Amino acid sequence: MYNLRLYLDHATTAAAHSENPEPLINKRRSMADVTYPCYIQRKDASGNWYWIYYARNGEEIARSSESYKSRNDCERSIELIKNSKDHPVYYYN
């Protein structure tokens, strides 16, 4: 299920705790460095960005409903989702 050649941005490494940590923003990581839960950003066949959210068990549970021309717009979409945790949830029968 996992492609070891896939790279993503992931900011939790031991380097963050070293004396001279290297910048972690926009750092490319291999799938072996992934910890769950997490968001993974990828490009589609058209070269647009989208995100996938993986649960603690590594299963994909959400995906962006659109793709984005810029990675910054994709990141902004992730932030909107993260900040919606206190929004109401409605149920329609």
15 Cβ contact list (under 8 Å, min separation 6): 21, 22, 24
Q: What is the pLDDT of residues 40-72, one digit of tens each?
A: 999 999 999 999 999 999 999 999 999 999 999
Helices marked H in 1-93 — which ranges?
Answer: 71-82
Q: Where are the beta strands (DSSP E) in the chain?
A: 7-9, 28-30, 38-43, 49-54, 60-63
Residue 54 phi, psi dihedral angles, 5° rounding: -110, 135
- The SS3 assignment for 22 reads coil
Question: Domains, the chain, ranges and CATH?
Answer: 7-82 (3.30.160.160)
Range of weakest confidence among 12-16, 28-32, 43-47, 64-68: 12-16
